[in-house]
């Protein structure tokens, strides 16, 4: 089953269960300045869940374009390292706005997975919130999942990747337990079952999260049961596609195979000759072309602040990976055509914007290719010193003079087992900012034209403060 068919099957299944098929919202949330990018299917329904907005339907289903490359959810550092994380992915979801609740949600999920997608039941594991006996009983008694494959997950505040299975929109407001469905990819893949110490591997893959909005939490911390509880679910299309196409990595599904081939051709044509087709760098490029293209579709252009800076960071990371493989001239924008072939039908806005996307990315590449060679030389020279930590001043110089976002430097360093001195980088950044401010003041005092601080670089600062404001959505 191709990814496109899986998307359709999901939407049609929920349509047959009385759900309205609703189009994906843009990756740039129009009315939510607190959110960097749309990171879940529920984002466009936030006000419906909160009761501020009414719709003509009480059940909806979507395939939502999501980006998790900044803010509360940031999977950028996972890309190229896990088989299951992307910066851009599609989240398939079904939603109940005060309509059905746990029993139907769980039964629908099980019916779709085992009867329509025909997954063997014994490969599926589920997690429930430790105190959610109701969900446990439904899985165990109604659906018939044996106790050995139901894992109760408590409040895991350890910051591990596993959700603590309790979702909150914020400190107050709607919240409730989740139940998640995992697929066991088999013993030839490393990793332990959910809740175990080695759950971080790629063997037991979380495919579907079902959130039960059950309480309203007030400022005093009291959880008041909601009169009409709701359901919000999300399943990663690429992850279920990997399962259904019998491959262990998202990068082996049909859409990614095509993108990887296009990425290889582009990199080879730009000077690499014949790069290693299994290189992790190609996966990073294939991932990043999706995030970059879809953000440009929604009007973002590479810049030094906020969303534009996230786009620039992702694009430059991809370009650096191409450079690593041997590309010496712009190649990244050439992959857009294949992306349009793969996803233009499901997302016509992508096809429509193809020329603009290609041109915006080409310009960013032209810009970065002017400094990347010198920057890489400096970076390599610093790494050759063999110190365990990459010095913050050099990281800042790379950022300031050569346009290397600090996470790009960190990405190179990580490949060598080296970390970047972030505190040193921040100190260097602040020092330059102070100097720029002082210079500005000095000129003002002299009665000269004010030219100082306004030109100082604020991208990183903006990004950080923007991310700390993010209020949505899943507990991670």
Binding site residues, ligand ATP, CB under 6 A: 68, 75, 84-86, 89, 91, 161, 163, 206-209, 234-236, 238-239, 474, 476
Alpha helices in 127-236 (DSSP H): 133-137
Report the distance separating Cα 189 and Cα 197, nearest Å.
16
Report the residue number, 75 or 338, with the smaller CB distance to ligand ATP.
Answer: 75
- Two structure tokens written together for 411: 């990405």
Report the residue number, 206 or 338, with the smaller CB distance to Mg ion.
Answer: 206
What are the backbone dihedrals phi and psi of residue 447, each rounded to the nearest 5 degrees, phi first?
80, 15
Nearest CA to 300 out of 30, 23, 24, 25 is that of 30
**Which residues from 156-195 bind Mg ion, rule CB under 5 A?**
163
Report the distance separating Cα 126 and Cα 150, nearest Å.
5
Q: How are the residues of the chain apportioned to helix, strand and coil, as percentages rounded to the nearest 5?
A: 50, 15, 35
Report the distance separating Cα 191 and Cα 200, nearest Å.
6
Residue 180 Cβ, how far from Mg ion at the closest point, in Å?
5
Residue 351 Cβ, how far from ligand ATP at the closest point, in Å?
23
What string of DSSP letters covers 175-207? EEEEEEEEEE--TTS----TTSTTTTSSSEEEE
Window contacting Mg ion (CB under 5 A); options: 200-208, 309-317, 348-356, 449-457: 200-208
DSSP letter (8 states) at residue 45: G
Report the distance separating Cα 245 and Cα 253, nearest Å.
7
419-420 vs 389-390, strand pairing mode: parallel
Residue 127 Cβ, how far from Mg ion at the closest point, in Å?
9
Report the residue number, 145 or 207, with the smaller CB distance to ligand ATP.
Answer: 207
Rule CB under 5 A: say whether 44 interacts with Mg ion: no
Name the residue whose CB lies closest to ligand ATP: 236
Residue 238 Cβ, how far from ligand ATP at the closest point, in Å?
6
208 binds, among ligand ATP, Mg ion, none (CB under 5 to 8 A by kind): ligand ATP
- Two structure tokens written together for 313: 């960071």
**Which residues from 379-438 bind Mg ion, rule CB under 5 A?**
none
Report the distance separating Cα 352 and Cα 104, nearest Å.
39
DSSP letter (8 states) at residue 219: T
Residue 139 Cβ, how far from ligand ATP at the closest point, in Å?
16
| Interface pick for Mg ion out of 209, 214, 255, 394 (rule CB under 5 A) | 209
Report the residue number, 287 or 338, with the smaller CB distance to ligand ATP.
Answer: 287
Residue 350 Cβ, how far from Mg ion at the closest point, in Å?
25
DSSP letter (8 states) at residue 129: E
Report the residue number, 178 or 315, with the smaller CB distance to Mg ion.
Answer: 178
397 binds, among Mg ion, ligand ATP, none (CB under 5 to 8 A by kind): none
Report the interface residues with Mg ion, using CB under 5 A.
Answer: 163, 206, 209, 476
């Amino acid at each position: 089953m191709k990814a496109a068919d899986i998307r359709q099957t999901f939407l049609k299944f929920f349509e047959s269960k009385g759900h309205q098929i609703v189009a994906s919202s843009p990756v740039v949330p129009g009315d939510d300045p607190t959110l960097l990018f749309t990171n879940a299917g529920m984002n466009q329904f936030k006000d419906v869940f909160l009761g501020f907005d009414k719709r003509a339907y009480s059940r909806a289903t979507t395939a939502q374009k999501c980006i998790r490359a900044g803010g509360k959810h940031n999977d950028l550092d996972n890309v190229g390292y896990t088989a299951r994380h992307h910066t851009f992915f599609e989240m398939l979801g079904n939603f109940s706005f005060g309509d059905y609740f746990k029993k139907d949600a769980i039964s629908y999920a099980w019916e779709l997975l085992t009867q329509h997608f025909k997954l063997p039941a014994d490969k599926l594991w589920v997690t429930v919130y430790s105190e959610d006996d109701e969900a446990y009983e439904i899985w165990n008694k109604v659906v018939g999942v044996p106790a050995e494959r139901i894992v109760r997950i408590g409040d895991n505040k350890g910051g591990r990747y596993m959700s603590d299975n309790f979702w909150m929109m914020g400190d107050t407001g709607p919240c409730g337990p989740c139940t998640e469905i995992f697929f066991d990819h088999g013993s030839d893949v490393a990793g332990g079952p959910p809740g175990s110490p080695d759950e971080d591997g790629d063997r037991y893959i979380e495919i579907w999260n079902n959130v039960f909005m059950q309480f309203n939490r007030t400022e005093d911390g009291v959880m008041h049961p909601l009169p009409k509880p709701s359901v919000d679910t999300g399943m990663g299309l690429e992850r279920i596609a990997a399962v259904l196409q019998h491959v262990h990595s998202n990068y082996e599904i049909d859409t990614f195979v095509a993108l990887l081939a296009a990425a290889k051709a582009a990199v080879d044509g730009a000077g690499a000759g014949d790069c290693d087709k299994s290189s992790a760098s190609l996966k990073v490029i294939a991932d990043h072309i999706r995030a970059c293209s879809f953000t440009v579709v929604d009007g973002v252009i590479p810049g030094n602040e906020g969303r534009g800076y996230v786009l620039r960071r992702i694009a430059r990371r991809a370009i650096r990976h191409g450079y690593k493989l041997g590309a010496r001239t712009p190649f990244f924008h050439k992959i857009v055509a294949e992306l349009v072939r793969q996803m233009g039908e499901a997302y016509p806005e992508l096809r429509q914007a193809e020329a603009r996307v290609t041109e915006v990315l080409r310009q960013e590449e032209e810009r970065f290719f002017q400094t990347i060679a010198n920057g890489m030389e400096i970076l390599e020279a610093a790494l050759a010193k063999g110190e365990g930590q990459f010095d913050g001043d050099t990281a800042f110089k790379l950022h300031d003079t050569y346009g290397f976002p600090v996470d790009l430097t960190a990405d190179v360093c990580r490949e060598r087992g080296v970390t970047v001195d972030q505190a040193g980088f921040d100190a260097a950044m602040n020092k330059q900012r102070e100097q720029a401010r002082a210079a500005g003041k000095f000129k003002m005092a002299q009665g000269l034209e004010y030219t100082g601080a306004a030109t100082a670089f604020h991208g990183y600062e903006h990004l950080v403060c923007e991310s700390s404001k993010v209020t949505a959505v899943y507990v991670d």
